[in-house]
Chains A and B, each alone.
Chain A
Amino acid sequence: MNRYRYDGTVEGLFSAIDHILRHETDPQSVELKPQQQTLFDEGVYIVTNAERADILVRRFSTAYPENASQVMYCVLSEKEGLETSLLRYIHMVSLYGSRIEAYLTHPAVHDVHFLARKVAREAHRLKGLLRFAMLEDGSYLARMEPDFNIIQPLSRFFTQRLRTQEWFIYDVKRSLVSHWDGKKLDFGTLESFHSPELADEEPEVQRLWRAFFRHIAIPERKNAALQRSFMPIKYWKYLVEKE
């Protein structure tokens, strides 16, 4: 079995996959991993080639848009150890077409499918659980600490939903921020963060929401375990109703 290594970046991953697909006779039988800083890590190191990575991603997304979005969700998971499965998955899709997605009993398809689902589920969850607060200048700010790096798909969703207001989404864990000014979406990183002043009406609106949250529950049906299973405590930190 051939062992390949890459630099651990997303570009590196895709250029390695591109290299293997073009040069390996049997891509299903190789192993792909990030380069380890140890003496005994044996494997062929593939130098990152941004251009090749870009070509692969573009071709694959055009030909198999649905499979490409599965791959992208896996990349956003930032999980290590999935490279080999991704390589095999992309290879199988390019051989047999997008219908291979249904071959869920195959280990590579299974890994990609279920990890993508997990990431997509968190993105979907935060579409509901994200809370914006109005700032002094009339723009809105939402903070979050998701398990996966989902700020991009999430922000795109809100450009449609809250298109008439200026907003920021801030991933506290990764120091990433997205900004929508009503026309354009930008992404950036944040060096330091100072909590901005809230708009005058904000505390009152939050009080209203907390009152609604309290009164909409039926006391005779109280069920804290069920509530937690849908809304894990890790998300409570930024929920107005759970402050």
Chain B
Amino acid sequence: MDTLEKLKILSGSARYDASCASSGSSRSGGEGTLGNASTGGICHSWSDDGRCISLLKVLLSNDCRYDCAYCVNRKSNPVARTSFTVKELVALTVKFYRRNYIEGLFLSSAVMQSPDYTMDRMVSIVRKLREEERFFGYIHMKVIPGCSEELVREAGLYADRLSVNIELPSGDSLKLLAPQKRKEQILQPMAFLGDTISANRFERKKNRKAPRFSPAGQSTQMIIGASPESDYRILSLSQGLYKKMNLKRVYYSAYVPVNRDTRLPVLARPPLRREHRLYQADWLLRNYGFNADEILSEEHPFLDEHLDPKAAWALHHPEFFPVDVNRADYAALLRVPGIGVTSAKRIVSARKFAAITPEGLKKIGVVMKRAKYFITCSGRPIECLFDRPALIRQKLLVAGTLPAPQSLKQRQISLFQ
């Protein structure tokens, strides 16, 4: 099979991996080296589904010995099987990089003969890229659960980011849908990565010449809507992963039915809106100082489809408002719908020069059509509806006040990760 055919198959089966971040790492070589990585990350294109393309995202092989119900590459599917050779994929990456098509390589793989065999092949690709081609672009690599720690250790020396897919939000669902995978088998390398990454950070503080290990941290991904877990359960899991395993990002991937299987739900469309609301709630966990228990509970385990989670929280907590933009601290400003991380920071620094007026808020970039129900400017309210959350809700829901769900999520991904 020629490279073109292989590329079609192996990118087509890698597309269900959500992550395409190229951020969090800064890398640059000297004379004679190819490429660099910049902390903010760079998007190179956007595919027809509106997702950013930053990395050459491919599988090394789609020849899988596992039979996971939801996966396009499962053993029982009658699809063409193929693998890249090491040389082939290295040459392809370099050719694309020299033309500025990509920021680097995202390398994943189906599990071939064994986890060790697969991981070893993947490591030889990134080793060749770094050592022979002297490639300094971005590399994101999947860790194959069950492979030896030695291989993970070596992978971390070459890659900017490593990730292990948690696949599904609970051990039970994993048992049902991916019978050959076990929860412990997945969590073990994640814990190992978490420990090694933080030990490496510590070491590099003492000795700046110490080799870096996965400098852009680790991330993971789970499928949403293929199994029955609630949003509350999912968010609590993510929160645990951020706190205990030190993850940079958890990606949620709306379940796209690719197989017929009695164990899977029948959906008319992938649950894109749910995925979007989960990303918004995830943002609240990571950047806005929220706790999963504040956003959802056992009694209300699902996010409101019609309202973003921050507005939903605000309407449940009228006692918190109004917040005065000229007096409130940063943490309180962050809780106001319509005020994001950037505008909260701008408010805090701009008000040192002069008190901020509603006009000034607009200039700074606050989304007034949402914020105006929740704030005062030096004691003066804009809308006097603080004690009528039901009415505010109605006004927020009026057509046009909320951005189209898809676009908001994607914009956040590209700007902040």
Residues of A within 8 A of B (CB): 100, 102-106, 110, 124, 127-134, 140, 142, 158, 160-165, 201, 205, 207-209, 211-227, 229-231, 239-241
Contacts and interface: CB of A to CB of B under 8 A. Distances in A.
B24 interface: no
B363 to A, nearest CB: 6
A211 B8 contact: yes
Given A102-B346, A105-B356, A221-B256, A212 B7 contact: yes
A142 B256 CA distance: 38
A218 B16 contact: yes
Interface of B: 3-4, 7-8, 11-12, 14-16, 28, 31-36, 40, 42-54, 56-58, 92, 95-96, 98-101, 103, 254, 256, 269-270, 272, 346, 349-350, 352-354, 356-357, 360, 363-364, 406-407, 410-411, 414
B410 A221 contact: no
B48 A227 contact: yes
Contacts of B56: 212
Nearest to A239: B45
A118 to B, nearest CB: 13
Contact of A128 (B14, B44, B99, B272): B44
A213 B363 contact: no
Nearest to A224: B48
A111 B95 CA distance: 42
A161 B102 CA distance: 12
A216 B33 contact: no
24 contacts: A103-B354, A104-B364, A105-B353, A105-B356, A105-B357, A105-B363, A127-B42, A128-B100, A162-B98, A164-B33, A209-B99, A212-B11, A212-B56, A213-B53, A216-B53, A218-B15, A222-B49, A225-B407, A226-B49, A226-B410, A227-B47, A230-B43, A231-B45, A240-B101
B42 A128 contact: yes
Given A226-B407, A230-B43, 5 more contacts: A132-B98, A160-B36, A162-B34, A215-B8, A215-B12
A129 B49 contact: no
Contact of B45 (A103, A205, A211, A213): A213
Given A105-B353, A208-B3, A230-B52, A165 B47 contact: no
A230 B411 CA distance: 8
B90 to A, nearest CB: 14
3 cross-chain pairs, A with B, having the tightest CB-CB distances, nearest first:
A226-B50, A102-B349, A105-B360
A217 B15 contact: yes
Given A164-B32, A226-B50, A226-B410, A220 B99 contact: no
A13 to B, nearest CB: 25
B96 A218 contact: no
B407 A104 contact: no
Contacts of B11: 211-212, 215-216
Contacts of B346: 102, 104
Contacts of A208: 3-4, 7, 92, 95-96
B7 A230 contact: no
Nearest to B48: A217
A46 B199 CA distance: 62
Interface centre among B45, B101, B360, B410 (most CB of A within 10 A): B45
B71 to A, nearest CB: 14
A29 B9 CA distance: 66
B98 A216 contact: no
Contact of A223 (B31, B50, B92, B256): B50
Contact of A230 (B16, B46, B352, B353): B46
Contact of A102 (B49, B352, B410): B352
A203 B197 CA distance: 42
A144 to B, nearest CB: 11
Interface centre among B14, B40, B98 (most CB of A within 10 A): B98
A70 B340 CA distance: 23
A162 B100 CA distance: 9
A205 B49 contact: no
B364 to A, nearest CB: 5
Contacts of A222: 48-49
A212 B54 CA distance: 12
Nearest to B362: A105
Contact of B363 (A110, A216, A229, A240): A110
Given A104-B364, A205-B99, A226-B410, A220 B270 contact: yes
Given A105-B350, A128-B42, A223-B49, A215 B15 contact: yes
B215 to A, nearest CB: 18
A214 B256 CA distance: 18
B223 to A, nearest CB: 13
Interface centre among A105, A142, A227 (most CB of B within 10 A): A105
Contacts of A133: 99
Nearest to B58: A212
Nearest to A209: B101
